[in-house]
Every structure is written in structure tokens, then in C-alpha cells.
Amino acid sequence: MSLSDEETRQLDAILGHYPDKRAAAATAMRLVQARRRWLSDEAVADLGEYLDMTVAELDGIATFGNMVFRKPVGRHVVLVCDSFACWSLGYAELRSAVEAELGVGMGQTTADGRFTLLPIVCLGACDRGPAMMVDDELHGPVAPDDVAGILGGYA
Amino acid sequence: MTSRPGLPGYPAEDRPFTRAMRADGRPATIDDYLATGGYDGLRRAVESLQPKEVAALVTESGLRGRGGAGYSTGRKWSTMPLGPDAPHPKYIVCNADEMEPGSFKDRFLMERNPHLLLEGMLLAGFATESDEGYIFLRQQYDGSVAALEQAIAEARERGYLGASLLGSGFTFDIELHVSLGRYICGEASAMLNALESQRPNPRARPPHMTGAGLFSRPTVVNNVESFMAVPAIVQHGPDWWKGLSVTDEGGTKVFGVAGRVAKPGCVELPMGVPIRELVEVHAGGMLPGYALRAVSPGGASTSFIPADKIDVPLGFATMSEVESRLGTGTLVLLDDQTCPVGMLLNMMQFFAQESCGWCTPCREGLPWTAALLEDIEEGRGEPGDLEVLAQGVWFMDSDKCFCDLAPGAMQPLESALRLFPDDFARHIEEGGCHYRRRGSDAPAMRGTTW
């Protein structure tokens, strides 16, 4: 799948925010991922063509960033904070409850494609630990019993 | 205990970081901000001050970087080349990455008081005759992004941002840049690489960033809270700022408390309040059934302070007297039912995972350290392990590493070996952990990419 007209329009619009095309690569990847949920090899190749960069150059950035998805993810991404603050406030119980509710472990996607569960470094919500995020929404403090209700809100 | 009252016991004017914040928790609008003296500092600067004078005010105030390193903000600005021969564009970069575990003040500040950050960056831009600002945010700070986008739109519309702002001839604009994620992007030079869409390894210094920074142009990089301190300094003057603190370091600061306390959260207090006051008064004290064991004062790369030393004032100079440092000033508490070895293991797994892999001590030393701690916590520890951990502290000192990641990781380790020797010994002797909250529980994702 090559870049759609809409994607190309959005990419054209961000180029003006950076002094050269290559400097827009990180934002370009984020933008395409936001539309497609993950970056396939084809998407990276298409972006490379658009930005005059090689696939290796783009993957050098993509594989470094912990929020670039080079494999398919579910409709919702669940991030459970594993910082030492959340760890001391009940991370283990929260993680177990999330894994039990979803029936998958860290790094896995539910069979229905609804959720992907991933670890995340400190969410900067230590005063709300143990904390987790679902897509762009922060939840905390989350008791194990709250997990089913929270996840149930995401179709 | 020093009894200078904290919030809400002293005048709003003396709370420069929080005075514009709304009671309902929503981001302060431009009208909220203007109603509490917002943009007065910027107006004063562009109408009646020279750029050098603004930098001098900041230097005179004694303001030191609030991101953890504590370097003089004014002095950093003063090294930017000025005048007609200076290269352009020059950049102001705000480090809003806040990925240091145990740091949670910048999120609070940006979500609640976004215009203060814009005004601080505008003053930095004016003082250094810069052309453009970037705010480098981590991806999980969606609330901050929304608040800042709104604030930028409002400021542009009212003429505080953009071409010839306030009719002064000074032109400055601010862009948001959302990171692809990774702790090392919070290291200032790695952040510049990330902004350029280079692989974000830290850069060698020299050259300093004020000489050759973003896109090889002169660049100032400061933390969110450092920028936010500047408007009130320019508005009210350095003497006023110096008068706010309990100690002689000047100003207020946004502190935080997390852990088993009654009221975890952030609070603006005079610089120099003791840890005890922050924990026992503002955070409501420890929850029933928990006693304080030690404090991580400002992020995972600061040394633990034992509970018997919490009368220390929170300041740059005073914290070194208890063999630690202020860092970000957001405290994470270690209670008596949580295993210190387990907590340290969690920290080391984080640092090992986040090493960029560039230099050997960090790339090899941190996983080795984490593995040894895991052995000790899981009951596989051996008597010689503590000496090897201590060697690691030496091996990963700042004179042997390319950046501050591994040396920072060694600070909690060094302090834990010093403060909790009996815990380490008992783990090794008894073949495991005797605490209620124990173990690593770290996700088994290390070494994989997604």
C-alpha cells in the first residue's frame, strides 16, 4: 500500500515545520502510524521514497523509539507503567489483573485484535500509581478490581 | 522543623508556578493567565529591556536548572552568540521529555499552566536573540500536548507569539515536537539528534550546544520548570525571587511526593523546605501501617536519603550534605514493607533497558548489574556479589562513560549499598527476599523491539 493522497497532504503540511525534509522523518512516521496503527515494511519504504531516505536510515530511528510499532497492534494499546514508584504501589497486582482480563501477556495482542499489551517506562504519574494508559487516556491509581471496568470501556 | 507555611498559607503572588492554575484542574486559559500578571514579564522585556539585561536578571536571580543538573540558567543563556554577526536561526529547545522514573512535575505544570512555559521560552528567545522554539514532549503526555496546542493558538491570536510580537519587532514562534520515545532522548544532546530525526545517541561535547546545537546552530536547552521560573523573575526582579526561598538559593519550586502517603501529589513551596515538612505536612504523612525507610529525592538517578536525615532542606547545596542531590525534587518514598533490593533491581532493569548501547561501561555494565541484583533478590546471591556491585559503581563513573545515564544509575546503587547493607547480607544468607513487596516483576520484553 503506498501513501494515500490524504497522507501525502498531511506530510506536505509538516515539512514546513522543519528546515529540511529528513528532519521531518520522526514526525512523518508518527503521523503515518497514527493513521495505520503500525508501520509495515511497505509503509517505511514509501516514507523513505517520500523523504529521500533509505529504509535502513528510517529503521535506525524506528527501532530506537519505543513507541514506533513495526508489527501490527490491536485497536487499543494498553501501557502498564513499570517505574519503581508504581512497582512499590502495586504494579505486580495490576499487571496480573490486566493479563488475566485480556488473556495475553506483555507484548501480545488479543485474538480478537482489540488490545495490545505493552510495558512502559515511568508515565510521570507517580502520584497516581499504580498507573496505566489505554491509548491516550491515563488511569490511576488502578486497583486490580477496576481493570475489567476500565478495559470494558474500549471497544 | 522550619515552619515556613506552604500552600495555601502564603500569598498567591509568591507562587509563580501555580498562581494562574484553575481550581477545576483544567488548563489555565490565556485570560486566567493574564489575570494573574501573565505576560507582564514578556511585555517588560520587549518594551524596556535589552536582551543582555534579561539574561543578566536571570543570572542574578541564581536560578539553576530544574531538570536535574542544576546548571545556572542565566549563565547558559549568556554563552549564546549575540549581535549582527551571530549565526541564525538560533533555537530555544524545551526539554519536556520527563521520562526519568519518579519524576512527575513537568506533566502537572504543562497540563495546568501552559502559558507560563510559552512566556518563559519567549523570554529565553528574547534574551538570546533566537528565532524559534521547540517543545520536545514524550508521546504519553497527551494532556500536555492538548494544553500547549490550545495555549499556542491563544497566544498567536492575541499577539504574544509570532511575527513582531506585542508590536516590538521581536519575532519568535514555538513548535511542538512529540517524541518517538526512549529515555535517552531526555539527554539534551540526544534530544537535538531526535529533533533532527537522527538516531538519538548523545553527542560528544565540545562543541557546546550554545555554539553548535540543533541543526548545528546556537541552541539553548532547558527544562520545563526552568523556563517557567523566568517570567516572574523578569516581572518582579531577582531580589524578589531570592526572597521567596527558605535557604539562600532563591525561588519556589514544584515538589512532589509519591508512595504510601495520605495525599500524594505536587505542591509549590519555597526552595529549602525540609523533606520532613513535604512528607508529613503537605503529603499528609505515611499511611497507617507503613513507616518511612528512605527517600529517592528527585528521580531514579538520585541517591537514597535515609529516614533519619529528612530534616535536610530541599536545595542544591543542602542535598549534597546528605550525599544526594535535588534532581527533579519529586520524592518517591521507600517504605518499611518494600524491599530495597527489589526497588533497586527495578531501577537497574530500567537503566539497562534504556542504555543506547553507545559506550561499553553502560551497555555491558548495566545488564550485568541488573542480573546480579536479580540473583540476590531471587536467592541466588553469593558473598562476593556485593564487591562486584561496588566495582560497577567505580566502572560506570562519569569519567568512563559517554553520557550521564550509567553514572546516574550508579547513584541509587551506591547509596543502597551504603544504607541497606543488612538487607543485602540477609538476602544472600537466607537465599531470598523477606519483604512483602519484593522481586523484579519486570516485563520480559527486554532486548525485543516492537
Domain over A76-152 is classified CATH 3.40.30.10: yes
Where do the domains of chain A lie?
Answer: 5-62, 76-152
Cell of A96: 496480573
pLDDT digits (tens, 9 = 90+) for A9-51: 999 999 988 888 999 999 999 999 999 999 999 999 999 999 9
Which chain A residues touch B195 with a CB distance below 8 Å?
A: 23, 26
Question: Order of strands, edge to edge, in the sheet holding B292-296?
Answer: B265-270, B252-258, B330-335, B292-296, B305-306
Contact residues on chain B for A61, CB-CB shorter than 8 A:
180, 197-200
* Cross-chain residue pair B332–A91, CB shorter than 8 Å: no
Q: How far apart are CA B419 and CA A124, in angstroms?
A: 27
> What SS3 class is residue A125?
coil
CA-CA-CA-CA torsion sign (B195, B198, B201, B204): negative
Residue B3 has pLDDT above 60, yes or no: no
Residue of A nearest to B183 (CA): A121
Fold of the domain built from segment(s) B252-335: Ubiquitin-like (UB roll) (3.10.20)
Q: What CATH fold (topology level) applies to the domain B17-243? A: Rossmann fold (3.40.50)
- C-alpha–C-alpha distance, residues B87 and B212, integer Å: 10
Q: φ, ψ for residue B265 (rounded to 5)? A: 155, -170
Whether residue B391 has pLDDT greater than 50: yes
Domains in chain B: boundaries: 17-243, 252-335, 340-430
| CA–CA dist B289, B260 (Å, integer) | 10
pLDDT tens per residue across span B239-271:
999 999 999 999 999 999 999 999 999 999 999
For residue A130, is pLDDT > 70?
A: yes
Give the separation between CA B402 and CA B397, rounded to whole angstroms: 10
Q: Could you tell me which residues are beta bridge partners of residue A120?
A: A81
As its CATH architecture, domain A5-62 has Orthogonal Bundle (1.10)
Measured between CA atoms, how close is B153 to chain A, in angstroms? 16
Mean pLDDT to the nearest integer, B392-417: 96
Partner-chain residue, chosen from A22, A66, A138, that has the shortest CB–CB distance to B182: A66
For the stretch A62-119, pLDDT in tens is 999 999 999 999 999 999 999 999 999 999 999 999 999 999 999 999 999 999 999 9
User: Per residue in B87-104, is it b (16+ CB within 10 Å) or e — as a string?
Assistant: eeebbbbbbbbbbbbbbb
User: What is the β-pairing status of strands A132-134 and A115-120?
Assistant: unpaired
Q: List CB contacts (< 8 A) between B354 and chain A.
A: 121
Per-residue model confidence (pLDDT) at position B447: 40
- Partner-chain contact B181 A79, CB within 8 Å: no
Place of cell 536519603: B305
Mode of pairing for the β-strands spanning A132-134 and A76-81: antiparallel
Phi and psi for B394 in degrees, rounded to 5? -70, -45
Compute CA distances B192 → A105, B95, B188, B209, B389, whole Å.
Answer: 35, 10, 7, 9, 33
Residue A1 — pLDDT band, cuts 50, 70, 90? Answer: low
Residue pLDDT, tens place only, B161-200: 999 999 999 999 999 999 999 999 999 999 999 999 999 9
Residue B436 has pLDDT above 80, yes or no: no
Q: Give residue A71's region: left, alpha or beta (phi > 0; psi -120 to 50).
A: beta
Dihedral-angle region of residue B289 (phi above 0 means left; psi in -120 to 50 means alpha; beta otherwise): left
Q: Do A65 and B180 touch (CB under 8 A)?
A: yes
The tens digit of pLDDT for each residue in B220-246 reads 999 999 999 999 999 999 999 999 999
Backbone φ/ψ region at B175: left (φ over 0), alpha (ψ -120 to 50), beta: beta
Q: With a cut of 80, say whether residue B5 has pLDDT above it.
A: no
Q: Do A121 and B354 touch (CB under 8 A)?
A: yes
| C-alpha–C-alpha distance, residues B60 and B63, integer Å | 8
ipTM associated with this complex: 0.96
A79 three-class SS: strand
pTM of the model: 0.95
Q: Which CATH number fits domain B340-430: 1.10.3720.10, 2.170.150.20, 3.40.50.1820, 1.20.1440.230?
A: 1.20.1440.230
Is the pLDDT higher at B236 or at B445? B236
